[in-house]
Amino acid sequence: MKSLRLYGKRDIRFEEAPMPTIENENEVIIKVMVTGICGSDGHRYSMLGPYIEGMIWGHEFSGIVHKVGANVKNIKEGDRVTASPSLYCGHCESCKKSEFARCDSLKVIGAKDPGCFAQYTKVPAENVVPIPDEVDFDKASMIEPAAVALHGLYKTNINVGDDVAVIGCGTIGLLAIQWAKVFGAKKIIAIDIDDAKLELAMSLGATHIVNSLKGLPHEQVETITDGRRVDVAVESAGSKITSAQVFALPRKGGKVVFLGIPYGDINIERFYFEKIVRNELTIYGSWNSVSAPFPGREWTSAVHFMKTGQIDPSSLITHRLDLSEGPEIFEKIAERTPGIGKVLFYPNGK
């Protein structure tokens, strides 16, 4: 079958790979209709991370059930599905407490297990999530990042009427903005350095925008909120700069949740660090997208709100490509070519 396989730093190849096979009675093979490049894939392509040479890459996808193991009862061939890419051990302390995102041995397909940048992929049956007819395969391929954003917001216990700031308007940040609207946030402030992304954020539910090249984010947020600042601040850029700036955005007693993944050391100026202590902030780290019962309410909620149209990732998509174009687009991402948002591949054709 056709696939994209990772061989090393900036070395991903379009080539043939063996078809997955059912090896135990609880597995499901899925024909991949759409698969997307995650922001973390772009970073890992340039810097590497956990991987095995020649592994099929990718972990965001949607498709059609191709084959099921003998013990799979609630999924059948032909079903339209997506799937959580997370693989937990089930034996560590966190797993025994059903805290699957904290599993000591948590893995994601596409790293040390074959992923979905291929015509077919395989996952455990419990990872499979059916999708309704109202959610097309393009949107369904983005249920995983939608669940990632929601996993973080759930931690904050966000309330109706809260003011929210989202710093970083990539895929996760723009989805967090849509979720903030679903939760009933009053003011939703989008912060970025790219005016095009800020314009898109406004179309997706942001009530105010801040370009942090035009002034310190916290000063602009204070102007918007009459000095109060926000109840919840979401860091979704993963940059060294925003990972410090975010601490100056919440009100006293406010909350910060980190969704972004920094790929460098974070050095925090005293001004920003003191906000944690003096304003008695609550800081949340958020990892992955799963909870109990696995894969969790993040997934069922993402499916529901995509069905209703309240979460719609369509406008985030900038490229729809054949899988063979993978090496070229990954190089463009590594070179920071402007205008690349969510990239989708169609391993079995559009």
pLDDT of residue 189: 98
Q: Does one domain contain both 164 and 277?
A: yes
Q: Which residue has the tokens 């999924």?
A: 75
Q: How far apart are CA 269 and CA 248, in angstroms?
A: 11
Q: Return the half-sphere exposure (C-beta side, CA atoms, 13 A cut-off) of residue 285.
A: 5
Question: Which residues sit opposite 12 in a β-bridge?
Answer: 6
| Type and span of the H or E element at 209 | strand 208-211
Same domain, 160 and 181: yes
Same domain, 129 and 89: yes
- Asked whether residue 298 is assigned to any structural domain, the reply reads no
Q: Tens of pLDDT along 220-260? A: 999 999 999 999 999 999 999 999 999 999 999 999 999 99
Do 157 and 135 reside in the same domain of the chain? no
- Whether residue 93 is found in the same domain as residue 160: no
Domain of residue 218 covers 146-285
- pLDDT, one tens digit per residue, over 293-306 is 999 999 999 999 99
Are 53 and 99 part of one and the same domain?
yes
- Give domain status of residue 301, yes or no: no
The per-residue pLDDT for 123 is 98
Among 233, 267, 285, the domain-final residue is 285
Residues of the chain with pLDDT under 70: none
Quick check: is 33 in a domain? yes
For residue 30, the domain's CATH number is 3.90.180.10
Q: Are residues 204 and 278 in the same domain?
A: yes
| Residue 243 located in a structural domain | yes
How many structural domains does the chain have?
2
Query: Within this chain, do residues 163 and 65 fall inside the same structural domain, yes or no?
Result: no
Question: Would you say residue 350 lies in a domain?
Answer: no
Label residue 214 exposed, middle or buried (CB < 10 Å: 0-12, 13-18, 19+). Answer: exposed
What is the percentage of the chain residues whose pLDDT exceeds 70? 100
The pLDDT value recorded for residue 50 is: 73
List the structure tokens of 274. Answer: 């003191």
pLDDT score recorded for residue 260: 93
Yes or no: say if 102 and 287 are a contact pair by the CB < 8 Å rule: yes
Q: Is residue 49 part of a domain?
A: yes
